[in-house]
Amino acid sequence: MEMGLAEGPNSERRSADTVARQIALTATTTITAVTWTMVLANAPFEVGWFALHPPLQTLALSLFTFGIITLQPTSFADPRGKTAGLLRHQAVIFFLGFPSVLLGTFSVSYNKWLLGADHFTTWHGFIGIFCMVWFLFQVTLGAGSVWAEGLLFGGGLKAKALWKYHRLSGYLLFPALMFTLHLGGARSNWSSKYSVWIIRFMAFTVGPVAVVIGVFSRMRTSKMHFLK
C-alpha cells in the first residue's frame, strides 16, 4: 500500500500534518491495545487458533498505518528523505504487516476448518476476505512497480506509470480494512461477550474513523496526476 511517493516541491509539510499523524497513531495504538487486552484476559488458550486472529489483524493494521504515514510527507526536494521513507514503508508493510495479516487470516480460517464451521457467514468475514485478495493485488502492484527497477511491469516509465494506480488503490483499500475492523470489533459475538459497549464504541467505531481521518488529512490529492 505505498502512498505518497510522488510528492512534489510544493508539498512541504503542513502544520496540521503533525496533529493528524498523532491522531492516527494514537487511535491505532489504542485499538491494538484494547484488542490484545480483550484476548489475553479471556482464556486465549481455550479458543484455539482464533486467539491469534484479532491480535495479529490489529497489529497488521497498526503497521499499515505507520507505513503509510512514514511515506506521506516525502518530497522530491528531499531525495534522501524520500528514499528512506520508501524503505521504511516497505519494511513495515511488506516484511512485518503482510506476514501478520496473512497469519491472522489463516488462523481464523484454520480454526473454522478444525471446528467444521461455515466460512464467510458474516459481513466481517466476507469483506475481510475480499480485502485480503485486494491486498495481495496491492502488494504485487506496489512491489512490481519499484523492485528491480519495475522489471515485473516492463521497467522504466511503464512501471512508474502504474505507481499512481497503486497509490489510489491503497487509499481506497485502507478505509475498507478499517471498516472490516469495525465490523469485527464492534459487532461480532465474541467482542460483545468480552467487552462493554462503550469500550467497543470508542475502540472499534470511533478509533477506525479517527485513523482514517488522520491518514487522509495528510494526503496531497494534487499530486495524484491522474489527468496527466
Read off the amino acid at residue 102.
L
d(CA 85, CA 201): 33
d(CA 62, CA 39): 17
d(CA 177, CA 130): 10
Average predicted confidence (pLDDT) for the chain: 88
Identify the three-state secondary structure at position 33. helix
For residue 198, count CB atoms less than 10 angstroms from its CB and return exposed for 0-12, middle for 13-18, buried for 19 or more.
exposed
For the entire predicted model, the pTM comes to 0.88
Cα 227 from chain centre: 27
Cβ neighbour number for residue 31 with a 10 Å cutoff? 26
d(CA 25, CA 190): 25
- Cell numbers at 171, concatenated: 487509499
The pLDDT score that the predictor gives to residue 98 is 96
d(CA 228, CA 222): 11
Identify the three-state secondary structure at position 73. coil
State the first-to-last Cα distance of the chain, in angstroms, to the nearest integer. 22
pLDDT digits (tens, 9 = 90+) for 100-151: 999 999 999 999 999 999 998 999 999 999 999 999 999 999 888 888 777 7
Class for domain 15-223, per CATH?
Answer: mainly alpha
Query: Does 204 score more than 90 pLDDT?
Result: yes
Say which DSSP state 127 is in: H
In this prediction, residues 164-173 reach a mean pLDDT of 91
